[in-house]
A and B are shown apart, each in its own frame.
Chain A
Amino acid sequence: MSTPRGLGLLAPALLLVCVLFIVPLVRLAGLSLGETTLSLHAYAELFGAWSYGGILLRTLRISAAVVVGCLLLGYPIGYVLAFSTPRRRALLSLLVLLPFWTSVLVRNFAWIYLLRDGGVASSFAGTLVGSDQPVQLLYNEIGVMIGMINTLLPFSVFPVFVALAAQERTLREAAASLGASPARVFWTVTLPLSRAGIYAGALLAFATALGFFITPALLGGGRVLMAATFITQQVEEFLNWPLAAAASLILLAAVMILVALYRRIAAFNLPGGEHAAG
């Protein structure tokens, strides 16, 4: 890999990454340090603004809740996919991916219709929590989370699916032969050995959730301001490019910290035993 020849093969890809990613990123960083003179003004403004602190926290909170929702829904789906016949697997994958391929506007307006006050969903939610009042599901954080979970579900489903499908069947069979009931097999073998998939799914969903702005705008009805929406506003409405650039870089830093964390955790949890045995 580190031979000059290997580097030569990598060159086109490296060039592409430089032009499309590194260069804009450097420009963005420059922008965040002021349009004319070098200053940390944008960052001061960002952290000084009490409101931005609120926005950042809300973004993290909603994204975290969305990740939890994605995993709770996505793990069982990934599980069913992994243990299905190829035919059924193809069909189910299609169903999981369908919302992904639907236009974001169509998807959001469908949710607005489903979640509206007095609609089926809100009455049903009312019954669930034991009140005779319908529960408000739209134009608040709940609505935003529902829409985001819907969009991000594939991000958690497929890593879980891959982790489970790669698991050796004999490990579960060994556990069963040693006296573990199917439920015990799941908790002691299947689940712990799919951790890498869970972490990857969580990371992908979280990183993507941080950048959402259409869904929060539509399903939040303008009341749920998230970081990406804030950045868009700064660019489009206030033309405050340095502030937008600074906010973008903070989000990017958050994601990079998460990726670094993930790499450490994943390195610990990769089932090294199997490599050695094989």
Chain B
Amino acid sequence: MTSPNPPPVASAVGPVLAVRNLVKRFGKVAAVDDVSFSVAGGTFLTLLGPSGSGKTTVLRLLGGFETPDAGSIALGGADIGRLPPYKRDIGVVFQRYALFPHMNVAENVGFSLRQRGVATGERARRITEALEMVGLEGLGGRAPSQLSGGQQQRVALARALVFKPRILVMDEPLAALDKHLRERLQDEIRALQRRLGITTVYVTHDQAEAFVMSDIVAVMNAGKIEQIAAPRALYEAPRTEFVARFVGDSNIFRGPVNESRMRLADGVLIAFAGNGAPPTALMVRPEKIRIGKAGHQNAGDNLLQGWLIDMRFLGDACLYRVRAGAQEIVVRDLNRTDSAHFAAGDEVILTWPAADTVPLS
């Protein structure tokens, strides 16, 4: 605990959690469809995806509340895929907290210790410690119903951590809280996770939340993992159109590809930096595009001429919608002192480097 932010432990001993080819069907629906990922010790991994993409089901399989139809789950090298939940040693924070309404806060937090036969004195000490850890010292005697949503959330976290589980899994724990509290708890949970160095699998449908909190993000779609990468890599180099659209805003281009150029419907060529198989689409982020007055020369591998459909002022930036031939392109221009101002109907030029054009498959 000397360094406040120890980096994720290098996986010299292999991943703490390894999920292989996991499948879970409900009737005809494959809620989890051949999912594989592994998490190194101390890493914070987030499953990010729209509602119904199978995130909760993955967590329920990890927790042992569902049995997989195929695949394996290894925790610390041992297969736990068929163990009942109470033998798994996994701390679970449920979406709606699932605090025991007939027990007070201290009893909730101490529940796991009681199951493990921890003596009364030791138990009281560890309950106090856990409540302090989440900033709820002195509230042990309260009933869960006497706490605010944020406080209940902290109790759930303390309860899931007090028995020092091998890993922590959390299912959209902040979804029910207002934006302000959510952001504060994001920071707190992340700081706590770093301090304890506990391997964590987190679930959210909120891209911003996934990015601020995670070391690694796995984007899920229809029961499959589309891409698993660090937040920056996910944003800068999404591999599929689904990831590009789900993570941040994007402009997507389609057309036949020749070498490292794509020909759009109106004949314009878009350059991209590709070296793999020909992409099915190209993507460029709105903030990578520079917008300038027509006639003004801007540097860039790609250059489109168009006119402004409309403009939205966001405070820190302007969002422009530009019609360029058959394309409608969104540009995000930071609000700098020297930023040019445009109005609807203006002729504009858009430019961006080929390196910022991401090939998608």
Q: Which residue numbers of A lie inside 8 Å of B, CB to CB?
A: 168, 170-171, 173-182, 184-185, 188-189, 192-193, 269, 271-278
Contacts and interface: CB of A to CB of B under 8 A. Distances in A.
A102 B100 CA distance: 42
Nearest to B92: A177
A176 B143 contact: no
B55 to A, nearest CB: 15
B244 interface: no
A175 B65 contact: no
Contacts of A193: 100-102
B100 A277 contact: no
Interface string B320-335: 0000000000000000
B8 interface: no
B17 to A, nearest CB: 15
B143 A175 contact: no
Contact of B92 (A173, A181, A182, A275): A173
Interface stretch (B109-117, B180-188, B280-288, B341-349): B109-117
4 smallest beta-carbon distances between A and B, as pairs: A273-B101, A276-B145, A179-B115, A271-B101
Nearest to B112: A178
A277 B152 contact: yes
A197 to B, nearest CB: 14
Nearest to A174: B98
Contacts of A177: 63-64, 85-86, 88, 90-92, 160
Given A179-B115, A273-B143, A277-B144, A173 B101 contact: no
Contacts of B261: none
A184 B117 CA distance: 13
Q: Name A's interface SS.
A: helix
A277 B92 CA distance: 17
A174 B100 contact: yes
Contact of A171 (B91, B98, B145): B98
A170 B86 contact: no
Nearest to B89: A179
A271 B112 CA distance: 21
Given A176-B86, A178-B159, A180-B115, A272 B143 contact: yes
A60 B176 CA distance: 50
Contacts of B143: 272-273
B145 A175 contact: no
Contacts of B97: 277
B252 interface: no
12 contacts: A168-B96, A170-B98, A171-B100, A177-B86, A178-B159, A179-B115, A179-B163, A181-B84, A184-B115, A188-B111, A276-B146, A276-B152
Contact of B111 (A170, A178, A272, A278): A178
Contacts of B115: 178-180, 184
Nearest to B96: A277
B99 interface: yes
B100 A275 contact: no
Contacts of B99: 174, 273, 277
Contacts, number: 94
User: For chain B, which range describes its interface: under 10, 10 to 19, 20 to 34, or 35 or more residues?
Assistant: 20 to 34
Nearest to B159: A178
Contacts of B65: 173, 176
A6 to B, nearest CB: 28
Contacts of B353: none
Contact of B85 (A176, A188, A275): A176
Contacts of A180: 86, 111, 115
A170 B84 contact: no
A178 B160 CA distance: 7
Contacts of A170: 94-96, 98
Interface string B71-91: 000000000000011101111
B331 to A, nearest CB: 43
B158 to A, nearest CB: 12
A170 B97 CA distance: 9
A275 B101 CA distance: 10
B149 interface: yes
Interface string B129-142: 00000000000000
A109 to B, nearest CB: 45
A156 B140 CA distance: 36
Interface in B269-299: none
Contacts of B159: 174, 178
A182 B86 CA distance: 8
Contacts of A174: 92, 94, 98-100, 159
B102 A192 contact: yes
A278 B89 CA distance: 28
Contacts of A171: 98, 100
A276 B98 contact: no
Contacts of B89: 179
Interface string B141-166: 00111110100100000011001000
Contacts of B149: 277
